[in-house]
A and B are shown apart, each in its own frame.
Chain A
Amino acid sequence: MPARMFEASVRHHRPRVAVVELHGEINAFAEEALNSAYAEAEREAPDTVLLNFADVDYINSTGIALIVGLLARARKSHRRLLACGLSQHYVEIFNITRLADFMNVFPDEASALTADTTPARD
């Protein structure tokens, strides 16, 4: 379980959907890169931002707090925030923390994008 530096990249998948691919560990060290990636995702004012956790090895409570921060930002700007690619354990963590009540969780990117048909913005 060697530590991996967190990285994130953004794809503007289709009009009004941005996909943020997350890599490595989401902990205190990830804060700057995660927030920068989210800001980049917001640049084209998407209706939906999809966080893809498929390549994430580890999320600690600080990482949970960072995701809560992103969710708060998304809600403030009336964006839909989705999650995909979480391991079974982190799906459980999202359930325990009730994050899953506020952001839909999908097994993978394809299913998330298929489900995201209704714009969340007014």
Chain B
Amino acid sequence: MATLLDTVQRVRIGRRKPAAQATQKPALERTRQVTPLPITIAPDDPIIAYFVSTPGAVEVDKLHVNSPAVRELRAAGAKLIIPLVSQGELVGLLNLGPRLSQQDYSTDDRRLLDDLATQAAPALRVAQLVREQQAQARARERVDQELRVARLIQQTLLPRDLPALPGWELAAYYQPARAVGGDFYDFLYFEDGRLGIVIGDVTDKGVPAALVMATTRSILRSAAVGASSGRSLSPGAVLERTNDLLHPDIPPKMFVTCLYAILDPATGTLTYANAGHDLPFQRHGDSVCELRATGMPLGLMPGMRYEEKETALGPGDRILFYSDGLVEAHNPEREMFGFPHLAELIGSHGSETPLIDFLLQELAAFTGDGWEQEDDVTLVTLQRAEGYGHSMITNASATSTENPLDDQSWRVLDEWTVQSEPGNERQAIQRLADAVRDLPLADQRLEDLKTAVGEATMNAMEHGNHYQPDLPVAIQVRASQTRVSVRITDEGGHFVLPESQAPDLEAKLEGLQSPRGWGLFLIERLVDEMRVTGDETHHTLELSMSLEGGTNASQNV
């Protein structure tokens, strides 16, 4: 009602010309319309109820209603008000000022005006409805246009092609909701052969979200590559930079959740950091675990730090990156799809159907027919192809063409297991020291072996067994006449070629790389030889060193 009455216009009657026919001609013939002035009648103004119940022209001076609108009309000089009522609804007022003759309106005048109001009210109502519909159509067109722009921005910026990595399978799926959220994913290719994987979600929808998505994508791409080297920077450092650059420009109350991971295809190592995004799931064998790393969403506060974690993918291992459109989908009973259900599905997924197809089938079955998608659904899967391999890394000075580990004269000194819990590498170190106590091993060499075995045990507990306490790390210590060997076996079930590049301390000190990443580097330099083997269920690191003063690390550096 208030909206309709906003359009009511006041009409002022001009002075009557000095002519005798004034009494015969209706007053309106001698009026002139001046600049119309809109008035607003509040929805609770009692004059509305009065006019609806009392049709017909009313003299303002005889109105005894406590109405702000009437006071305003009276102040403006209105003398006669004719309500325009259509289907029991007040749609307008016809307001007249004093007659030019200064005489009261005649009965004829009032009858004529009442007739006019009866005709005008439905016409006015129709005109108002037409104008409303036109306004709604324009608003709908604006929204549709916004959605088209938002979709265009997103579709333009999403990768057109999937990475082609030998031994790896990547797949992606993106289905925007009608309102188009701010989901995005991206692949970054680095000169060192590594692959960056990004998945993110901007709060809000439509064009604003699409623009923030585009900005975030650009900043992250720029931050991900070292300014001069073209090499990949660590995920935590990249998110930190992205956050600091994004924060000053992001609109209030908007932020971006984002997970950034770097895959080394050669080793199967995936390093990742997370700015508040849904945790990816890793399937290894029959077990499924979340890849957890803490960090605030991008754009909320400057100076944030992002925890960095690492995992290893063996043959057949797969990781699902996803957005909340999947886990927050509802079924007709308003139950949510949820994280536990997703984890169960990943665990039960067989090899006959690609994981994304399988999940979409399950989502469709869950939501039922006629589901109106609530949010964007984005899925990215990374899978290492089935296979098997082994590698051997030998320090430069151990030049024998024969593999000394194949010596048949080995005797086992000790073998045991440790549970995969942080700190348990110390148990391994202690027992190793006891096992080799009688071997001719110089103190410094013993310390080197202890540290190498400690680091290898940590790697096995963390990367092979994902610190699942029920998964043991098996350790076997052997000795021959000339060498000592330690095998550290986890349940990783695959071969992972170790990192061979030296950590870049300058980059770490500048915050361009994670301060971590020393374990394998130290192992390689502390023992004479490191050998990696594996099968379907186990992954073994075998470390050996000479008992006769063979090359040690301090001679290598």
Contacts and interface: CB of A to CB of B under 8 A. Distances in A.
A96 B556 CA distance: 9
A36 interface: no
A69 B517 CA distance: 13
Interface string A68-110: 1101100100000000000111001101111101100000000
Per DSSP, chain B at the interface is: helix
Contact of A68 (B422, B444, B455, B508): B508
A96 B525 CA distance: 8
A1 interface: yes
Contact of A93 (B503, B517, B522): B522
A66 interface: yes
B502 to A, nearest CB: 9
Contact of B515 (A27, A60, A66, A89): A66
B2 interface: no
A96 B455 CA distance: 15
B554 A65 contact: no
Interface string B448-477: 100100110010000000000000000000
Contacts of A1: 426, 429-430, 433
A3 B424 CA distance: 10
Contacts of B458: 60-62
Given A60-B458, A98-B505, A99-B505, A65 B518 contact: yes
Interface residues of B, number: 33
B50 to A, nearest CB: 74
Nearest to A3: B426
B541 to A, nearest CB: 14
Interface residues on A, range: 20 to 34
Q: Which of B508, B518, B557 has the largest number of chain A CB atoms within 10 A?
A: B518
Contact of A61 (B430, B508, B518, B553): B518
A34 to B, nearest CB: 12
Interface string B497-529: 000000101001111001111110110011000
A60 B425 contact: yes
Interface in B516-550: 516-519, 521-522, 525-526
A54 B509 CA distance: 25
Nearest to B520: A61
Contacts of A99: 505
B423 interface: yes
A12 B511 CA distance: 28
Contacts of B426: 1, 3, 25, 58
Given A3-B426, A75-B509, A97-B503, A92 B519 contact: no
A62 B518 CA distance: 8
A88 B515 CA distance: 23
Given A58-B426, A68-B505, A96-B522, 5 more contacts: A3-B426, A62-B516, A64-B522, A71-B509, A92-B444
17 contacts: A29-B423, A58-B429, A60-B454, A65-B517, A66-B515, A68-B508, A68-B509, A68-B515, A72-B515, A75-B509, A89-B451, A92-B444, A92-B553, A96-B522, A98-B505, A99-B505, A102-B509
Interface of A: 1, 3, 25, 27-29, 58, 60-62, 64-66, 68-69, 71-72, 75, 87-89, 92-93, 95-99, 101-102
Interface of B: 422-423, 425-426, 429-430, 433, 444, 447-448, 451, 454-455, 458, 503, 505, 508-511, 514-519, 521-522, 525-526, 553-554, 557
